[in-house]
Amino acid sequence: MGYVEGTVKKYIREYSRKLKDGKKKKYQTEQVQITLPKKNDIFQDDEEVIVMNKEVFEEYKKLNSTIEKQEIIIESLKKKVETLKVDREVEFEEKISGLDKNYLSLQDEHDLLKENFNLLEKEIKYYKDLNEKLRELILKLT
């Protein structure tokens, strides 16, 4: 943003006019002139400009600087949040992967125990049948 420092001169002029009814009325005009150094001719013809007090401008620059610093901090925080997000996603994926492995291991163990259970059930049934046959044989022999 280009800016130029200048000096303000204020001129006030009083004059009186005679009205139609013969009364005199006093008027006052005010003119403000801002003198700009020729070396800082940065304006174009018909360009719209803003004139402000130097203290206000300095305050504006301070606020703008603060805003820029805050934007840098915000960008830094956004990067940290993104990094944390990626780290958490990786950590989450690792935990999920570990849980999947545990689940598959438990599933395999469950399947093995189920097979053993079925075998034991068949063995129990076999021994029950054998026991029944032995009982029947003993009853026949006695």
Has residue 58 got a pLDDT over 70? yes
The percent of residues in the chain predicted with pLDDT above 70, rounded, is 99
**pLDDT value at position 1?**
60
Question: What is the spatial distance between Cα 84 and Cα 87, in angstroms, rounded to a whole number?
Answer: 5
Question: What is the spatial distance between Cα 113 and Cα 8, in angstroms, rounded to a whole number?
Answer: 97
Q: Write the pLDDT tens digit of every residue in 70-86.
A: 999 999 999 999 999 99
Secondary structure E strands in the chain: 7-18, 24-35
The percent of residues in the chain predicted with pLDDT above 90, rounded, is 73
What integer is the mean pLDDT of 8-34?
Answer: 92
What integer is the mean pLDDT of 35-46?
Answer: 81
Has residue 46 got a pLDDT over 80? yes
Question: What is the spatial distance between Cα 63 and Cα 56, in angstroms, rounded to a whole number?
Answer: 10
Whole-model pTM? 0.49
Q: Cβ of 6: how many Cβ atoms within 10 Å? A: 14
Say which residue, 69 or 141, is predicted with more confidence.
69
**pLDDT value at position 114?**
96
What integer is the mean pLDDT of 104-113?
Answer: 95
Q: Which residues contact 32 (CB under 8 A, 6 or more apart)?
A: 8, 9, 10, 11
Has residue 49 got a pLDDT over 70? yes
Mean pLDDT across the chain: 92
Tokens of 23: 């009364």
Question: What is the spatial distance between Cα 100 and Cα 106, in angstroms, rounded to a whole number?
Answer: 10
Has residue 11 got a pLDDT over 90? yes
Give the Å distances, CA to CA, from 47 to 29, 42, 43, 44, 90. 26, 10, 7, 5, 56
